[in-house]
């Protein structure tokens, strides 16, 4: 709003003036008991005067309030005792006579109204004298005035960013850890079977307000009677001068014509929720106009990460959505898995597994990981070196002079079966020699249940001799190796050394969290 005093008359001013001049709005012309009426014929419209009324002049109160007046006279008062002037058209109001009441004419003093379109009627109690009539004695137009109506808006905005923390962990029932990493040890007998539980804690850490902006519009409207020449515009935001953009080509001095409007915008980034007012001052060649509004901060214009979604990605379970959390509340998500030796063991391995597991807040990209290691007890091969015994009957043991069982078998050209001994005296199977066939003999090794060849193709070896060998033969130098299955075909001869590596599969005794 403008702080310049307006000279344009308001309804309140009219009421005040009419009361001061003894006028009344309590009755209309048709309610005024009268004996005579006369309609103004437009006389006196050329009677403009520019003097300023003196202190005793009845025109002074109207002039001081409105800057102008109309002085009406009814030329012949005659025998009339009262009168009422009623204006219409561009004018309004009912007016009683003014000073001097003792004159031979009725005087009326009204605010100035545009004469073009103005109507007036006088009502008289009693009879008027002859001649004369209703006429404008003198008038003065109010001086043209400059008036700007300045208004402004103040809008505030900011962003509220919510903050989160995420933590992930994995725990096992047996609580084995190495270097801070949980480990599961799966034993063949099932004693290491256990459950692992993953926990994701999402914690709300509060919020931070940022990106503070104060913006709005400045509106300047020429509500006066004169074109206004704007020479300066200053807008202070909480004491700091800011820039208002009134569009391309705007500059001062700027002429704002009567009835025109000028609108400018501003937008200021500030570091915090500043307090105070935003005040604009518009200066013209004639006057100064102001408008101000308080800076008020409301709710945030937008909120970042108020609700966030939690996802999980792991080697074990793949990708899955865990759920969402909304400020100011956090949440905890859990899931688990049972681990057993039967599910993990494979003869060819692997026997060690590392499972990475990462939980992530999608919107903030915060994440945390947990690692679980799973070890599987494997079976190891415990081997023994075994030889065919020098006897004709299975289970018959023959010792040489060194106390070891014989390391060769006498062959008489007949099919025969003898015992396969491992170590000193462990009966692990049989060795069968076939009858000769075109100068060749088939030697077949069969193992008892629970025993296996370590590598039959690598370790089943045979050497033939014409005479009984002396000492212990060296199997690494034997000429004949397996060719198919567990049977080897060798040339016919008188003595044979038959060697093979055998063994059993047992749980790795060095496995475990030791």
Q: Is 4 a domain residue?
A: no
**Is residue 394 located within the same domain as residue 368?**
no
pLDDT digits (tens, 9 = 90+) for 75-97: 889 999 999 999 999 999 999 99
With a cut of 60, say whether residue 510 has pLDDT above it. yes
Rounded distance between C-alpha atoms, residue 424 and residue 402, angstroms: 12
**Is residue 372 located within the same domain as residue 405?**
no
CB hemisphere CA count around 239 (13 angstroms): 3
pLDDT digits (tens, 9 = 90+) for 247-304: 998 999 999 999 999 999 999 999 999 999 999 999 999 999 999 999 999 999 999 9
248: exposed, middle or buried (Cβ count in 10 Å: 0-12, 13-18, 19+): exposed
Over residues 96-115, the mean pLDDT reads 92
**Is residue 292 located within the same domain as residue 252?**
yes
**Is residue 364 located within the same domain as residue 252?**
yes
Q: Is 5 a domain residue?
A: no
With a cut of 90, say whether residue 106 has pLDDT above it. yes
**End residue of a domain, out of 353, 377, 401:** 377
pLDDT at 306: 97
**Is residue 95 located within the same domain as residue 208?**
no
pLDDT at 101: 83
pLDDT digits (tens, 9 = 90+) for 50-66: 898 999 999 999 999 98
Q: Is 424 a domain residue?
A: yes
Confidence of residue 121 (pLDDT cuts 50, 70, 90): very high
Rounded distance between C-alpha atoms, residue 8 and residue 149, angstroms: 14
**Is residue 73 located within the same domain as residue 25?**
yes
**Is residue 315 located within the same domain as residue 396?**
no
Q: pTM, whole model, 2 decimals?
A: 0.60
pLDDT at 4: 29
Over residues 365-383, the mean pLDDT reads 94
CB hemisphere CA count around 104 (13 angstroms): 6
Better pLDDT: 99 or 256: 256
pLDDT at 391: 57
Phi, psi dihedral angles at 30 (to 5 degrees): -70, -15
pLDDT at 425: 77
CB 150 within 8 A of CB 289: yes
**End residue of a domain, out of 86, 117, 140:** 140
**Is residue 164 located within the same domain as residue 281?**
yes
With a cut of 90, say whether residue 24 has pLDDT above it. no
**Is residue 184 located within the same domain as residue 130?**
no
Rounded distance between C-alpha atoms, residue 150 and residue 280, angstroms: 8
pLDDT at 356: 95
Structure tokens at 410: 């006498």
With a cut of 60, say whether residue 23 has pLDDT above it. no
pLDDT at 475: 83
pLDDT at 483: 65
Q: Is 348 a domain residue?
A: yes
pLDDT digits (tens, 9 = 90+) for 426-477: 889 999 999 999 999 999 999 999 899 888 878 889 999 999 887 667 888 8
**Is residue 302 located within the same domain as residue 175?**
yes
With a cut of 50, say whether residue 9 has pLDDT above it. no
Q: Is 83 a domain residue?
A: yes
Which domain does 324 fall in, by range? 145-377
**Is residue 501 located within the same domain as residue 467?**
yes
Q: Is 59 a domain residue?
A: yes
**End residue of a domain, out of 377, 405, 426:** 377
Q: Is 3 a domain residue?
A: no
Confidence of residue 514 (pLDDT cuts 50, 70, 90): low
How many domains does the chain divide into? 3
**Is residue 88 located within the same domain as residue 157?**
no
With a cut of 70, say whether residue 74 has pLDDT above it. yes
CB 205 within 8 A of CB 163: yes
497: exposed, middle or buried (Cβ count in 10 Å: 0-12, 13-18, 19+): buried
Q: Is 514 a domain residue?
A: no
């Amino acid at each position: 709003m403008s702080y310049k005093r307006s000279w344009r008359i308001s309804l309140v001013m009219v009421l005040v003036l009419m009361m001061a001049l003894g006028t009344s709005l309590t009755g209309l012309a048709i309610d005024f008991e009268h004996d005579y009426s006369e309609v103004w014929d437009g006389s006196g419209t050329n009677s403009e005067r520019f003097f300023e009324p003196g202190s005793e002049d009845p025109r002074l109160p109207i002039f001081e309030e409105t800057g102008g007046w109309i002085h009406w006279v009814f030329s012949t008062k005659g025998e009339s005792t009262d009168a009422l002037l009623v204006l219409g058209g561009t004018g309004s109001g009912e007016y009683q006579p003014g000073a001097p009441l003792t004159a031979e004419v009725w005087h009326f003093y009204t605010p100035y109204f545009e004469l073009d379109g103005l109507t007036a009627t006088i009502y008289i109690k009693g009879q008027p004298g002859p001649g004369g009539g209703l006429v404008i004695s003198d008038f003065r137009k109010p001086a043209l005035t400059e008036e700007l109506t300045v208004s402004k808006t103040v809008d505030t905005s900011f962003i509220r960013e919510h903050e989160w923390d995420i933590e992930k962990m994995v725990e096992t029932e047996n609580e084995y850890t190495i270097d801070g990493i949980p480990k599961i040890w799966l034993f063949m007998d099932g004693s290491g079977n256990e459950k692992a539980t993953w926990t994701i804690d999402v914690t709300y850490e509060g919020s931070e307000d940022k990106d503070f902006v104060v913006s709005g519009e400045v509106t300047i409207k020429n509500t006066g009677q004169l074109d206004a020449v704007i020479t300066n515009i200053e807008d202070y935001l909480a004491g700091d001068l800011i820039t208002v953009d009134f569009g391309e080509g705007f500059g001062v001095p700027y002429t704002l014509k009567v009835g025109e409007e000028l609108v400018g915008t501003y937008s200021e980034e500030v570091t915090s929720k500043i307090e105070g007012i935003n005040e604009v001052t518009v200066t013209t060649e004639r006057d100064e106009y102001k408008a101000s509004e308080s800076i008020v901060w409301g709710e945030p214009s937008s909120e970042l990460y108020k609700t966030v979604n939690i996802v999980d990605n792991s080697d074990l379970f793949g990708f899955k959505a865990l759920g969402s959390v909304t400020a100011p509340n956090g949440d905890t998500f859990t899931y688990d898995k049972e681990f057993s030796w039967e599910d993990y063991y494979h003869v060819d391995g692997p026997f060690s597994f590392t499972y990475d597991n990462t939980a992530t807040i999608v919107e903030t990209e915060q994440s945390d990981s947990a690692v679980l290691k799973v070890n599987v007890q494997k079976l190891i091969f415990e081997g023994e070196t075994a030889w065919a015994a020098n006897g004709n009957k299975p289970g018959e043991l023959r010792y040489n002079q060194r106390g070891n069982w014989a390391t060769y078998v006498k062959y008489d050209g007949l099919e025969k079966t003898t015992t396969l001994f491992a170590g000193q005296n462990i009966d692990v199977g049989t060795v069968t020699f076939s009858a000769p066939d075109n100068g060749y003999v088939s030697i077949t090794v069969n193992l008892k249940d629970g025993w296996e060849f370590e590598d039959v193709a690598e370790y089943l070896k045979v050497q033939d001799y014409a005479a009984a060998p002396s000492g212990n033969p060296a199997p690494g130098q034997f000429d004949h190796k397996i060719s198919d299955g567990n049977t080897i075909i060798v040339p016919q001869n008188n003595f044979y050394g038959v060697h093979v590596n055998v063994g059993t599969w047992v749980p790795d005794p060095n496995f475990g969290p030791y």
